[in-house]
Structure 1
Amino acid sequence: MTDASPARERLALAADLPLDEGLRLYAQVAPHVGYAKVGLSLFVEHGPAAVAAFQKLGARIFLDLKLHDIPNTVELAAARAGALGVSLLTVHAAGGEPMLRAAVKGARAGAQAQGHAPPRILAVTVLTSMSAEDVADVGLSGAPEQAALRLARLAMRAGVEGLVCSPREAESFRRELGTAPFLCTPGIRPAGAALGDQSRAETPAFAVRAGADLLVVGRPIHTAAQPVDAARAIALEVSSA
């Protein structure tokens, strides 16, 4: 059997649960999952305490706030995030190049002030929940893949090191942008799993073969009858791919 351990640093648990429940779940699946993704619901309710709680369990923190505001506001928020010692922080690429540069600047300054390594900024291109119709409705031209690539190029120009995209865009990003960007893919669903609100989901193996560096998995683990077995199976699939 393939050892799951090589996949650990390529998997993030989307802890979109009440904090106590999320902590219990992460403690169970930690042998297979290296990152805990603290998203909006947890951060709105608990703030930095949610980050600290997962850090105490040894998790690397993916702070998924998808910042999108004027550059000064984003710079201040990114600085606060950097000071928390998080590893990854999301912003919306649609905020534009000045905002993205401000996020990078703020995150580095905040981390440096507290003696932490700076978090990698991940620019969200097109949400994986958005269909082609949704993309057109918000005024983006072309297919979701085309819109995502335009936003990815903008983010790279701004000095952002990572991108969030669906597994379906990862291959074209690698082809067009090379090996430089760190690619994070949510919308991961093992074969046969319910899609939920994801419109452009794919399997773990698909995402890895397409070039993804980090896979975000939530409901396929925390709604499983045996979450540890589900996490182990995903990690094995990643390792094999």
Structure 2
Amino acid sequence: MGRSIIVALDYSTREEIRSFLKEFQQESLFVKVGMEAFYQFGPSLVEEIKEQDHQLFLDLKLHDIPNTVKKAMKGLAGLGVDLVNVHAAGGRDMMQSALEGLEAGSPSGKNRAMCIGVTHLTSTSEEMLKQELHINKRMKDAVVSLASLTKASGLDGVVSSALEVPWIKKACGQSFLTVTPGIRLEGDLAQDQKRVATPSKARSLGSDFIVVGRSITAAENPYEAYYKVKKDWEGSYVS
């Protein structure tokens, strides 16, 4: 699974999702289906997208007791998605159970989906971390702590801000995946995100995947916006 842009399909209707994907009939995208779309349209949306030969990140951030997460992951594995996630704060037993569920539910002869742990949401500020969550650490230390736990639990990587990627790579190794939302083109509003970066900045920091939503999907021309993001992302690549 190489470095890529993941487009967050954060639309309110199924028709909007279909309309967006219709613009990309001639190529394979990596897209993200989150809670909003999955809770409304269910597994049939995932199946429809996979039939169009797109890679898919099912972003449900599972966080429950280990047995419940294991059973949920076993069911999700049958959908043939490429990437799933859990909240790393659920702990080692929960994360290991997630992997067990994925292995058990994966179709015969196929590799399980990649599984990553969410560290701290990119909408979380340093102030919120301390005053609301009562975590008396710097953001980078809190993120690296959860990333290290995620790696020790056997998962493939984490979700974090691009800003924490260098420390995650230092602690967990270069092969440990970093999937970074909170990506904005230069001049775009941060909106509800706090820890943001441009595509080129994320690449220079070492992100393996960037998740881009509104900078593409809310653009007047999403097709052109996608390629603008792609150019910024790939332009900082050094072979």
Q: TM-score, normalised by structure 2?
A: 0.93
> What SS does the corresponding residue of 1:91 show, helix, strand or coil?
strand
Distance 1:181 1:155 in 2: 10
Q: Which residue of 2 aligns with 1:52?
A: 47
- Alignment partner for residue 116 of structure 1, among 110, 123, 126? 110
Q: Which residue of 2 aligns with 1:233?
A: 228
Q: Which residue of 1 aligns with 2:126?
A: 132
For the Cα contact (< 8 Å) 1:32–1:232, is it kept in 2? no
- How far did residue 28 of structure 1 move? 1.7
Distance 2:52 2:168 in 1: 33
Q: Which residue of 2 aligns with 1:73?
A: 68
Q: Which residue of 2 aligns with 1:3?
A: none
Distance 1:96 1:183 in 2: 19
Report matched runs for 1:50-199 at 5 Å: 50-113=45-108, 115-136=109-130, 137-199=132-194
Distance 2:134 2:78 in 1: 36
- How far did residue 30 of structure 1 move? 6.3
For the Cα contact (< 8 Å) 1:11–1:35, is it kept in 2? yes
Distance 2:218 2:113 in 1: 30
1:47-102 residue CA offsets vs partner (Å, 9 max, x unmatched): 11110111122211100000000000000111111111000001000000000000
For the Cα contact (< 8 Å) 1:123–1:164, is it kept in 2? yes
For the Cα contact (< 8 Å) 1:85–1:119, is it kept in 2? yes
> What SS does the corresponding residue of 2:105 show, helix, strand or coil?
helix
Distance 1:72 1:132 in 2: 33
**How many residue pairs are counted as aligned between the two chains?**
233
For the Cα contact (< 8 Å) 2:148–2:171, is it kept in 1? no
Amino acid at match of 1:12: I
For the Cα contact (< 8 Å) 1:88–1:119, is it kept in 2? yes
Question: Between Structure 1 and Structure 2, which shows a larger proportion of helix residues?
Answer: 1
- How far did residue 173 of structure 1 move? 1.0
- How far did residue 112 of structure 1 move? 3.7
Q: TM-score, normalised by structure 1?
A: 0.92
Q: Which residue of 2 aligns with 1:4?
A: none
1:126-176 residue CA offsets vs partner (Å, 9 max, x unmatched): 000001121111122212211111000001100011110001011111122
1:159-215 residue CA offsets vs partner (Å, 9 max, x unmatched): 011110001011111122221211100000011001111000100001111111111
For the Cα contact (< 8 Å) 1:12–1:33, is it kept in 2? no
Amino acid at match of 1:14: A
Structure 2 gap segments, 5+ residues each: none
Percent identical: 34
Distance 1:125 1:107 in 2: 20
Q: Which residue of 1 aligns with 2:5?
A: 11
Residues 87 and 176 from structure 1, CA distance in 2 versus in 1: closer, same or farther, beyond 3 angstroms?
same
For the Cα contact (< 8 Å) 2:28–2:53, is it kept in 1? no
